[in-house]
Structure 1
Amino acid sequence: MLTRKQLELLDFIHKRIQRDGVPPSFDEMKEALDLRSKSGIHRLITALEERGFIRRLAHRARAIEIVKLPEPLENAGRAGFEPRVIKGDRPERTPPSAIALEGLGVSDLPLMGRIAAGEPIEAITDGAQHVSVPENMLATGGRHYALEVKGDSMIDAGINNGDVVVIRETSQAQNGDIVVAQVDGYEATLKRFRKTDGMIALEAANPAYETRLLPEGQVKVQGKLVGLIRTY
């Protein structure tokens, strides 16, 4: 998965190549991303090349070729969830309940344990901890809660292991929504929801995981994803 800055740079390069036929200069990239030095651009370019999104052509100035685009850019403008991410710098072992969002209107949400983005785990528990989230991340009306993601089955939707997802409590879902689904009354998982002919498909966003197809009566939607918090 790409960081926000890597995604911003890839988007900027892609748009400039589409507009001008040539990639931007390093100075233009630095200015567009509001970085202090070109060394930061070099690191981002290297990371994009290592992940297979771009290719640098030898012996040619400003020669960068776009190899592929991640889903958020490839499907720009299409309906669906695009994570609104709050990124914070904190020690790795600080619990999610210690996240501080200074200078923003915030709400405290109960942290209801962990949710599987992989194989299902035990159902949601009562939240003793709380996490602060920006109020503009919350959908209008309804109760919200937070869950810590465990697993990597939703990485292609921008949801990583260790992220804290913000959920609006609801029992209703539309095809394509990313939901908290309870299976057989005891195991909970975070997956993309699809319903057809009395069956529910719980789809991963990682080709390493198979879609689970279950009778409608075995699946209970407990909430819909509205945002996430990523910490480092």
Structure 2
Amino acid sequence: MTFVLYPSERKILETMIQYINRNGYAPTLKEIAAVVGVASPATIHEHIQSLVAKGYLLKLGRYKRGYDLAPQYKKRDMEDTEPSLSLPHFGFIVAGAPIEPHPDPTASFRVPVSMINSSKPGYVLQVRGNSMKDDGILDGDYVVVEYTEAANNGD
């Protein structure tokens, strides 16, 4: 499952990916704080706990450098993947009932360009409910939505 990655979390994760792939072990909280420009290691710790909970990092015990990358991030940079765009995460969509988007200006998703069918800007919503399961869209999935004035049945 993919989770929302806030800009500060992305910066910390990118820092850890580069550091671990270069050195073979994780940086300290103070080292991360210095790189990302945060004064408090406690703030870094909170973000790292969130990255662990979301599955981007692994906790390796109670050690000073006790974190490792999830397997998909080992020996590569996040920017070396397919070209992507950053789309805002606007909240949730109830499968079967339309709702108004509620933007969170700090939340965004990196979406591969190949998943976007038009030049119109879009946004990301998380699905709540199972009414679209026959189409392979399940509760908890994320969908990329294209801005449009009107939607037709089946869009």
For each residue in 1:164-203, what CA deviation from the matched residue of structure 2 results, as whole angstroms up to 9, or x when unmatched? xxxxxxxxxx95325599xxxxxxx968xxxxxxxxxxx9
1:19 aligned residue:
22
Structure 1 residue corresponding to 2:65, chosen from 62, 65, 84 = 62
Structure 1 residue corresponding to 2:141, chosen from 189, 208, 211 = 208
SS at match of 1:149: coil
> Aligned residue pairs: how many?
123
Paired residue type of 1:21: G
Distance apart, 1:8 and its partner CA: 0.9
Paired residue type of 1:158: F
Q: Does 1:79 align with 2:83?
A: yes
1:50 aligned residue:
53
Higher relative contact order, chain-length normalized (CA < 8 Å, sep 6+): 2
Between structures 1 and 2, the one with greater helix share: 2
Determine the C-alpha separation between the residues in 2 that align with 1:209 and 1:7. Answer: 18
Determine the C-alpha separation between the residues in 2 that align with 1:179 and 1:119. Answer: 24
- After superposition, residues 1-232 of structure 1 pair within 5 angstroms as 1-67=4-70, 74=78, 76-83=80-87, 121=98, 149=101, 158=109, 176-177=115-116, 179=118, 208=141
Structure exhibiting the larger radius of gyration computed from Cα positions: 1
For each residue in 1:56-89, what CA deviation from the matched residue of structure 2 results, as whole angstroms up to 9, or x when unmatched? 212433121112569xx64644223233x6xxxx
For each residue in 1:104-147, what CA deviation from the matched residue of structure 2 results, as whole angstroms up to 9, or x when unmatched? xxxxxxxxxxxx7965849xxxxxxxxxxxxxxxxxxxxxxxxx
Structure 1 unpaired stretches of 5+: 86-115, 123-147, 160-173, 182-188, 192-202, 211-220, 224-232
**Under a length normalisation based on structure 2, what TM-score does the superposition of the two structures give?**
0.54
2:131 aligned residue:
none
**Under a length normalisation based on structure 1, what TM-score does the superposition of the two structures give?**
0.39
Determine the C-alpha separation between the residues in 1 that align with 2:61 and 2:101. Answer: 41
Between structures 1 and 2, the one with greater strand share: 1
Check whether the contact 1:117–1:150 (CA below 8 A) recurs between aligned residues: no
Q: State the Cα RMSD in Å.
A: 4.7
Paired residue type of 1:208: D
Determine the C-alpha separation between the residues in 2 that align with 1:121 and 1:51. Answer: 27
SS at match of 1:65: strand
Distance apart, 1:38 and its partner CA: 1.0
